[in-house]
Amino acid sequence: MSGDYTGFILAAYGFSALAIICLIIWIALDSRSQKRALADLEARGIRRRSDMKRDATVEGV
């Protein structure tokens, strides 16, 4: 890999790797935040619509 474009290619791979790592970190942090918000809502008694449908089905039987 001692061609004329080695620096450009390595820089492109490095930038791409950095961008992907940043996206993975962002998604992980956002996931933690969303789980925390969901737990807070459930603790306050606010439930998901999907849980309400399941409860209605169980009560209707």
Q: What is d(CA 4, CA 13) in angstroms, rounded to the nearest whole number?
A: 16
The verdict on residue 48 lying in a domain is yes
Q: What is d(CA 47, CA 45) in angstroms, rounded to the nearest whole number?
A: 6
Number of domains in the chain: 1
The whole domain housing 43 covers 17-60
DSSP the chain: --STTHHHHHHHHHHHHHHHHHHHHHHHHHHHHHHHHHHHHHHTT---HHHHHHHHHHHH-
The verdict on residue 7 lying in a domain is no
| Per-residue model confidence as pLDDT tens digits over 3-14 | 899 999 999 999
pTM beyond cutoff 0.95: no
Instruction: Check residue 34 and give its pLDDT.
Output: 96
The verdict on residue 10 lying in a domain is no
The verdict on residue 50 lying in a domain is yes
pLDDT at 51 over 70: yes
Percent of the chain residues past pLDDT 90, beyond the cut: 67
